Structure 1
Amino acid sequence: MLSKASTARVVIDLDVPGPAISRHLYGHFAEHLGRCIYGGFYVGEDSELPNEGGIRLDVVEALRALAIPNLRWPGGCFADEYHWQDGIGPKADRPSMVNTHWGNVEENNHFGTHEFLALCELLGAEPYVNGNVGSGTVREMSEWVEYLTRDGDSPMVRLRKANGRDEPWRVPFWGIGNEAWGCGGNQRAEAYADLARQYATFLKDHGDNKLYKIAAGAGDDDLRWTEALLKAVSCLGCGREPKNIFQAISFHYYTVAGTWEHKGSATDFGLDDYYRTIAKAQDIERVIRAHSSLMDAYDPERKIGLVLDEWGTWWDVEPGTNPGFLYQQNAMRDALVASVHFDVFHRHAERLVMANIAQTVNVLQAMLLTDADSGALVRTPTYHVFEMNKGHHDAVSVPVHVIERPEAYAVDDHAMELVSASASVKDGRGLVSLSNLDPEAGLEVILDLRGVEVQGVVGRLLTASSPQAHNTPASLGAVAPVELPVNPASRGTLAVTLPPHSFATVTLTL
């Protein structure tokens, strides 16, 4: 038996339904950045690697195993310099462009609108297209929507058909620019709010395709930016529903343990760096709560969704790689950052309707890393958290109370909790997610399950020899899920023992 200081008791009310956990909280992000698109998703039709229309099929297979719900594209900062008509038609005729934000490299535009929508179809994912406000026009964006989603006959429909696609696509999610306060134009909040209203007005619903329009929101906890967008569609305390101009407001939040100039290494770090990282990840709850509280004042019926369409860890790039490509390794520490975020997302699922990890392949906190020399595909520790948590997709959250826990760890002026948990129910099954965030001590957890009789249990565990452990082409399974023993403790309770720095799920048959 572990010492009392290394125990936790978690009460879960399985019969008390909370808000539904949208599967879109497990969304993804693919920007024209480094080797995310070219060399990641897209290898070209002449590649020796198995592909369909140039799309790498082992990447598709790996992501389908996550039941990836949506994919955001083409950016990011890249979105506000991307002109969509450069990426349609015969590839040989497409003009090249310079990616000024990410590496200042020339791109041939071989991966464009049709290729992205083909990728989404292969993945079974819903498209989230981010339009160009920073250097584009209202007409350009409006015509892109028409090209994608309109049936019948019109100039853009004829153009789409000439490029080989007769039927329109279903495109539910549309971003109105990106980070307008920074790379999307260095705009003032009120100026962008006016543009968001203008652009959204001309983004039309064609046929039965209904756009869910997302205004580009704040960085971190910039509530002034969020309030400017709320004022553009509602009024404080007036009791009226907000104008249905855009349906959601986004924000971005990255976990950076150091400074933006010196973020630290993804794999070479000490305990202090580890604690600062987890404390920063846990602070997402304060940020979501702040945005939600402000939105509740202007939108008490919660008609407007909150979207976190960029989140994840950001480290210094791997030595010897292009600094503009943002290629970083992904360790057990990153997996725990993801598990902490998902627990927070589940608690705030009534307001938070979508989240997109940055990014899916070869960039920042990626699911997958592709090796350019060997062609190997590496599933990262973060990938396994997404896979183990699949059962939360569109499930109903239930209350989780951690009533006994180890003493919190002091990090600067913050208290870092050493236990994180969430739970949901769906289709006669429950799923409990648990994280032991202590990098040095194991943890015995007693699950006190109330309200519903449990018929069977299956436990899975993700841990490693150290928080720095990671997967490579030479060691693909260094960090991978294994079976976790789950033992009855007393009537209605289960006991699991979690090693240091570990994530676990317990699936319940109800």
Structure 2
Amino acid sequence: MVLTLTTDKKGSKISKYIYGQFAEHLGRCIYDGVYVGENSDIPNVNGMRTDVIEALKAVQVPLVRWPGGCFADEYHWKDGVGPKEARKKMINTHWGGVTEDNSFGTHEFFEMLRQIGADAYVNGNVGSGTVEEMQEWVDYMTMPGESPMANFRRENGHDEPFKVAFFGVGNENWGCGGNMRPEYYADLYRRYQTYVRQYGEEKIYKIACGPSVDDYNWMEVLMANAARYMDGISLHHYTIPTGNWQDKGNATGFPESEWVSTMERAQYMDELITKHSHIMDKYDPEKRVGLIVDEWGIWVNVEPGTNPGFLFQQNTIRDAMVAAITFNIFHKHADRVYMANIAQMINVLQAMILTEGDKMVVTPTYHVFDLYKNHQDAESIEIYGEHSDSITCTASKKAGLTTLSICNFSTDQKEELEFKLTEGQFSSLEGQYIAGEKMDSHNSFDEPDVIKIKEFTSYKEVDGKLVVSVPAMSVVTMTFKN
């Protein structure tokens, strides 16, 4: 079989924000994850653990969404500013019923972003918050001149305004964010977004709460009633291996049938984006409004012996397959999908990084982000031709370099693929890959390199074509000039 890369045609730009991260006040994502406090024995800069920050910088994380998630609609931002000893404590009712001491708040979030080099996606409180509270938070963060809130920010040690690139007006307001009807939320969105004002020179990209999975009516109502007031609209979809929220299946030791069902459910993202995009096209044919998939990933049962409210799960080569499949779908829809945030960054759900005390390990999912980082802000290249049902691939071009990424999610069959170009020829070929020996191959604190990026050499050029032998359970990225 021969696959053709249409290198002679200009494709849609693959937004770097598709590679965004999600950091909620949930379990050990923030505390013990990225933030250990200034007095910790774990190496840190201003409370942010150095090893985690360096790992995130290495994969060029473009933005982080915070403080939730469900937590966002019970978060009151003034509790998280000012002297830490005076900050209010609260119970995190959504996630484990633990005490939230608010030692990680607005200033700490922006300090984390500064160290990573990422943009801010702040999620506001519609479910239990007021318009005034949201307006004052935006004022506090972004006002460069005189105002009570800007002066309050200065009293708390930050003279210059923060840059808020993205602002979400509520989260999952059809569920944990208020159990609202779409008609009611559409009116609330129109009201609340009015007060997400642009105080400085930087425009804030406003994101409306969109549908859960296949709630096409929610998308229809929001687009019909509020499209002109939004820059983006969210979509949430999690891959549940069993399809059963009560028993989602385990992260390790699962049967092959759950591998197969996981791959099928991950690919459902394509149908969801296609159908939601059709609705969006009716009201926004110019594709001004971005589809923001700000929660996605695999969700399985928590690890035995851990707090069920902390959503801690091991991360395996299966998770890497889900990540690669999902990215390839996002690239396919790059004309509409503007941002995506994997759930979540550290120690929660499909995490990039796991920590335990002073130990840290990166996951197979992290390595996919690393293998795909060249696609950020690159021009997509269409690939056409037939291939097996266990292969998904994507390609892009940026600064004269073409990047081709291939995922083979067969558990036992390697695949030989032939690629040709519609323009140019292959030169300066290089390759990297990850692969698993078992369906649940994973990294641990004792064995951190079971899954790691290796040099890929299983390719050759034959009569102007690139012939690639892709191992089972692998993700391969090749770069070349043409």
Give TM-score scaled by structure 1 length. Answer: 0.93
Q: Which residue of 1 aligns with 2:377?
A: 394
Summarize deviations over 1:282-329 as a string: whole Å, max 9, x none: 110000000101100111111111100000000000000000000000
Give SS of 2:393's match.
strand
Q: Which residue of 1 aligns with 2:55?
A: 62
Q: Which residue of 2 aligns with 1:231?
A: 224
Counterpart of 1:246 (choices 206, 230, 233) is 230
Gaps of 5+ in 2: none
Q: Which residue of 1 aligns with 2:240?
A: 256
4+ runs deviating over 4 angstroms: none
Q: What is the CA-CA distance between 1:30 and the residue it aligns to?
A: 0.1
Q: What is the CA-CA distance between 1:333 and the residue it aligns to?
A: 0.4
Task: Work out whether 1:128 is the aligned partner of 2:95.
Answer: no
In structure 2, C-alpha distance between the alignment counterparts of 1:56 and 1:357, rounded to whole Å: 21
In structure 1, C-alpha distance between the alignment counterparts of 2:452 and 2:48, rounded to whole Å: 26
Give the AA of the match of 2:120. Answer: P
Give the AA of the match of 1:389. Answer: Y
Q: Which residue of 1 aligns with 2:416?
A: 444
Give SS of 2:218's match.
helix
Gaps of 5+ in 1: 1-7, 234-241, 407-416
Say which is worse superposed, 492-501 or 88-97, in terms of deviation: 492-501
Counterpart of 2:387 (choices 398, 405, 410) is 405
Counterpart of 1:146 (choices 139, 151, 154) is 139
In structure 2, C-alpha distance between the alignment counterparts of 1:232 and 1:255, rounded to whole Å: 30
Give SS of 1:283's match.
helix
Give the AA of the match of 2:449. Answer: G
In structure 1, C-alpha distance between the alignment counterparts of 2:458 and 2:400, rounded to whole Å: 19
Task: Work out whether 1:201 is the aligned partner of 2:224.
Answer: no
| 2:458–2:470 Cα contact (<8 Å) kept | no
Give the AA of the match of 1:104. Answer: G
Q: What is the CA-CA distance between 1:471 and the residue it aligns to?
A: 0.2
Q: What is the CA-CA distance between 1:449 and the residue it aligns to?
A: 2.3
Give SS of 1:33's match.
coil
Give the AA of the match of 1:23. Answer: K
Counterpart of 2:450 (choices 478, 502, 506) is 478
Give SS of 1:61's match.
helix
Counterpart of 1:275 (choices 232, 254, 260) is 260
In structure 1, C-alpha distance between the alignment counterparts of 2:3 and 2:268, rounded to whole Å: 21
Give the AA of the match of 1:282. Answer: Q
Q: What is the CA-CA distance between 1:487 and the residue it aligns to?
A: 3.4
Q: Which residue of 2 aligns with 1:5?
A: none
| 2:460–2:468 Cα contact (<8 Å) kept | no
1:110-509 alignment, distance < 5 Å: 110-233=103-226, 243=228, 245-258=229-242, 259-372=244-357, 375-401=358-384, 403-406=385-388, 417-509=389-481
Give SS of 1:389's match.
helix
Q: What is the CA-CA distance between 1:269 and the residue it aligns to?
A: 0.7
| 2:321–2:407 Cα contact (<8 Å) kept | yes
| 2:459–2:469 Cα contact (<8 Å) kept | no
In structure 2, C-alpha distance between the alignment counterparts of 1:15 and 1:462, rounded to whole Å: 30
In structure 2, C-alpha distance between the alignment counterparts of 1:47 and 1:357, rounded to whole Å: 28
Summarize deviations over 1:182-226 as a string: whole Å, max 9, x none: 000000010001000000011100120211000011110111001
In structure 1, C-alpha distance between the alignment counterparts of 2:373 and 2:314, rounded to whole Å: 23
In structure 2, C-alpha distance between the alignment counterparts of 1:459 and 1:54, rounded to whole Å: 37
Give the AA of the match of 2:274. Answer: R
Summarize deviations over 1:87-134 as a string: whole Å, max 9, x none: 000000001010000000011100000000000010100000000000
Determine what percentage of the aligned residue pairs are the same residue. 48
Task: Work out whether 1:80 is the aligned partner of 2:70.
Answer: no
Q: Which residue of 1 aligns with 2:30?
A: 37
Q: What is the CA-CA distance between 1:486 and the residue it aligns to?
A: 4.7
In structure 2, C-alpha distance between the alignment counterparts of 1:498 and 1:453, rounded to whole Å: 21
Q: Which residue of 2 aligns with 1:237?
A: none
| 1:458–1:486 Cα contact (<8 Å) kept | no
Summarize deviations over 1:336-371 as a string: whole Å, max 9, x none: 000000100001011110000000000000000001
Give the AA of the match of 2:391. Answer: V
Q: What is the CA-CA distance between 1:13 and the residue it aligns to?
A: 1.2
| 1:446–1:489 Cα contact (<8 Å) kept | no
Give the AA of the match of 2:230. Answer: F
| 1:457–1:486 Cα contact (<8 Å) kept | no
Q: What is the CA-CA distance between 1:466 and the residue it aligns to?
A: 1.1
Q: What is the CA-CA distance between 1:446 and the residue it aligns to?
A: 1.2
In structure 2, C-alpha distance between the alignment counterparts of 1:127 and 1:323, rounded to whole Å: 29
In structure 2, C-alpha distance between the alignment counterparts of 1:274 and 1:74, rounded to whole Å: 32
Summarize deviations over 1:147-168 as a string: whole Å, max 9, x none: 0000111100110000000000
In structure 2, C-alpha distance between the alignment counterparts of 1:478 and 1:136, rounded to whole Å: 46
In structure 1, C-alpha distance between the alignment counterparts of 2:353 and 2:421, rounded to whole Å: 35
Q: What is the CA-CA distance between 1:509 and the residue it aligns to?
A: 1.9
Give TM-score scaled by structure 2 length. Answer: 0.99
Summarize deviations over 1:397-426 as a string: whole Å, max 9, x none: 01111x2323xxxxxxxxxx2110010000
Q: Which residue of 1 aligns with 2:88?
A: 95
